[in-house]
């Protein structure tokens, strides 16, 4: 199967001032696109080319894993943010956050601290871990929680390419702004229907 860069659910200027059009043009249009192209080149004509993206992330190693996981992680990230301001956790998601963190504010503090202090490139995640508890974890480079049997619920890309155009070296300001656009409806859908995550994040392919 050929892998495709997913379309964004919003216009390139719709996330301003959180993220500029220039950031999206580079981050989605060049970085993410390059991971997809390298993944296709690496798996074409091979047994790995038969696997779904999630299966690839779980089974591949080395360069194939890096490009597959970066395709997965970025596709996930684009669904985590939305223009027009954040929605609110409700229902089962709110109950799980309150149970495992005490409150949404406590989750935000824990997540922001982890994202800000993660050394080097990587990803900060809210996951439902293999024991069924919500947890904040970070992964270096292309790391992805599905390799640990966890269900990803929310992510923030802390590679410099995610924020350097708009925030330069001030990663905490990028993380602070991130919360203003979190799509909690997507987070809730991941908790409720983990089997539907891949189809949701891959959405509609771009026309390239």
* Nearest distance from C-beta of residue 146 to Fe ion, angstroms: 17
A 10 A CB-CB count for 13 gives 12
* Nearest distance from C-beta of residue 29 to Fe ion, angstroms: 12
Between the CA of residue 39 and those of 5, 22, 83, 198, what are the distances in Å? 11, 24, 29, 16
CB burial string 17-39: b at 16+ within 10 A, e below:
ebbeeebbebbbeeebbebbebb
A 10 A CB-CB count for 66 gives 18
Q: Which is nearer to Fe ion, 28 or 108 (CB)?
A: 28
Q: Which is nearer to Fe ion, 72 or 111 (CB)?
A: 72
* Nearest distance from C-beta of residue 184 to Fe ion, angstroms: 21
Q: Which is nearer to Fe ion, 78 or 101 (CB)?
A: 78
Positions in the binding site for Fe ion (CB under 5 A): 157, 159, 162
Q: Which is nearer to Fe ion, 159 or 184 (CB)?
A: 159
* Nearest distance from C-beta of residue 194 to Fe ion, angstroms: 23
Q: Which residue is nearest to Fe ion (CB)?
A: 157
Q: Which residues are paired to 139 by β-bridges?
A: 123
């Amino acid at each position: 199967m050929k892998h495709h860069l997913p379309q964004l659910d919003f216009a390139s200027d719709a996330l301003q001032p959180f993220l500029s059009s220039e950031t999206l043009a580079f981050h989605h249009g060049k970085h993410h696109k390059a991971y997809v192209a390298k993944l296709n080149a690496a798996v074409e004509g091979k047994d790995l080319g038969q696997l779904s993206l999630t299966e690839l992330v779980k089974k591949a190693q080395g360069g194939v894993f890096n490009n597959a996981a970066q395709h997965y992680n970025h596709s996930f990230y684009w669904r985590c943010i939305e223009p027009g301001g954040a929605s609110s956790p409700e229902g089962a998601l709110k109950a799980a956050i309150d149970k495992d963190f005490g409150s949404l504010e406590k989750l935000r503090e824990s997540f922001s601290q982890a994202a800000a202090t993660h050394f080097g490139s990587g990803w900060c995640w809210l996951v439902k871990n293999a024991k069924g508890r919500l947890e904040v974890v970070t992964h270096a480079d292309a790391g992805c929680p599905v390799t640990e049997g966890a269900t990803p619920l929310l992510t923030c890309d802390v590679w410099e390419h995610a924020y350097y155009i708009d925030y330069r070296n001030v990663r905490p300001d990028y993380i602070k702004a991130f919360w203003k656009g979190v799509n909690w409806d997507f987070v809730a859908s991941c908790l409720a229907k983990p089997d539907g995550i891949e189809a949701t994040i891959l959405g509609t392919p771009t026309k390239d």
